[in-house]
């Protein structure tokens, strides 16, 4: 089968279109013929080697974290799906590889594709949808009437998180450029800040939660908008000890995480604010709950561009440019 592989780590490295063997199907897996796949900044960060110490993939390996497609084979102990089912998923770490014609996915990571979405729309959902769900529902336990500041509202996670937060009944503030103000307002944002001309830390006060997806400087500014006992969930780092414990990392990595997060933890504790790092995980059950919301019309996908499979490197470059509104998708079949 055809696949785009990382042959060696590096920021300037490109992916290579290669013929590789179809995956070997394990007993709890199903084989998915890939129709579409989403592109994420995580793909670029893994290719460049930024996550080597957390996710040490041995090159060459196939990249890609979102898939929408059709089940073609079922493992001997897999009983949740059947051949012909239209499914989507964010495959688990160390089992990625959606920039390919086929991928074997553990059935616990899969969900039935929303009936009202195309394959391309469905492929835009899993990683960003699960990230938003695990931040807002699982970690924040966001409730009606609470206030949440979601950074980068026109990005992949932002466009989904705004809609989910509004569904949960929250008051939502976000940042974006002037060109995208109408978009995030239509998604439900109550307060929209033009990050190029306005300072969110002087305009927002007494918020319950922040979903941080930006750099350390922005993270530190975000502490100022929270009320005492507020919480910031960061999907861009730094990783903390709680994350290391959840991931079952070694003592060495726990100490490393403690050092990496020491500065922001100290500043947060001084303001009586809770800081947590989130590295989203594959979770088919949660994806099924997201499917229900999409089919009910509560959340809609925002897809900026669809690239043909042969232009996977161009799709990666477009995502890295930071210009995408919502998600970028690759049509494989």
Domain parsing of the chain, residue ranges: 2-125+301-331, 127-277
The structure's pTM equals: 0.97
Res. 215 pLDDT band, cuts 50 70 90: very high
Give the pLDDT confidence of 147-176 residue by residue, as tens digits: 999 999 999 999 999 999 999 999 999 999
Neighbours of 77 (CB within 10 A): 10
Count Cβ atoms within 10 A of the Cβ of residue 103 and give its class: 0-12 exposed, 13-18 middle, 19 or more buried: buried
Residue 100 has pLDDT above 90, yes or no: yes
The values of phi and psi at residue 88, to 5°, are -150, 160
Query: What tens digit of pLDDT does each residue of 23-57 get?
Result: 999 999 999 999 999 999 999 999 999 988 889 99
Q: Going by CATH, does the domain composed of 127-277 fall within 3.40.50.970?
A: no
Other C-beta atoms lying within 10 Å of the C-beta of residue 24: 8
The residue among 243, 225, 244 whose CA lies nearest residue 234 is 243
The pLDDT tens digits of the residues spanning 282-297 come to 999 999 999 999 999 9
Average pLDDT for 6-15: 96
- d(C-alpha 245, C-alpha 93), whole Å: 17
Per residue in 222-267, pLDDT (tens digit) is 999 999 999 999 999 999 999 999 888 899 999 999 999 999 999 9
Assign domain 2-125+301-331 to its CATH architecture.
Alpha-Beta Complex (3.90)
Six token digits for residue 258:
């403690």
């Amino acid at each position: 089968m055809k696949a785009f592989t990382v042959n060696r780590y590096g920021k300037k490295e490109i992916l290579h279109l290669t013929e590789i063997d179809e995956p070997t199907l394990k007993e709890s897996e199903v084989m998915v013929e890939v129709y579409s796949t989403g592109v994420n900044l995580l793909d670029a960060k893994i290719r460049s080697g930024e996550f080597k110490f957390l996710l040490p993939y041995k090159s060459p390996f196939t990249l890609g974290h979102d898939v929408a497609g059709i089940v073609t084979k079922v493992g001997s102990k897999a009983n949740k799906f059947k051949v012909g089912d239209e499914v989507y998923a964010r495959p688990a770490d160390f089992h990625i590889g959606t920039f390919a014609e086929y991928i074997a996915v553990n059935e616990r990571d899969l969900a039935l594709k929303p009936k009202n979405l195309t394959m391309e729309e469905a492929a835009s959902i899993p990683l960003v949808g699960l990230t938003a769900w695990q931040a807002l529902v699982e970690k924040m336990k966001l409730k009606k009437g609470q206030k949440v500041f979601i950074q980068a509202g026109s990005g992949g996670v932002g466009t989904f998180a705004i809609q989910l937060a509004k569904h949960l009944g929250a008051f939502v503030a976000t940042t974006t450029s002037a060109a995208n103000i109408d978009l995030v307002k239509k998604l439900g944002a109550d307060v929209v800040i033009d990050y190029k001309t306005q300072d969110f830390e002087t305009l927002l006060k007494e918020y319950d939660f922040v979903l941080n997806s930006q750099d350390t400087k922005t993270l530190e500014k975000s502490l100022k908008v929270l009320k005492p006992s507020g919480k910031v969930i960061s999907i861009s780092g730094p990783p903390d000890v709680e994350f290391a414990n959840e991931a079952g990392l070694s003592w060495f990595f726990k100490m490393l995480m403690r050092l990496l997060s020491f500065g922001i933890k100290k500043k947060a504790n001084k303001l009586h604010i809770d800081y947590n790092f989130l590295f989203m995980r594959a979770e088919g059950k949660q994806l099924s709950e997201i499917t229900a919301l999409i089919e009910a019309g509560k959340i809609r996908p925002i897809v900026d561009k669809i690239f043909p499979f042969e232009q996977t490197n161009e799709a990666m470059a477009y995502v890295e440019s930071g210009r995408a509104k919502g998600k970028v998708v690759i049509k494989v079949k």
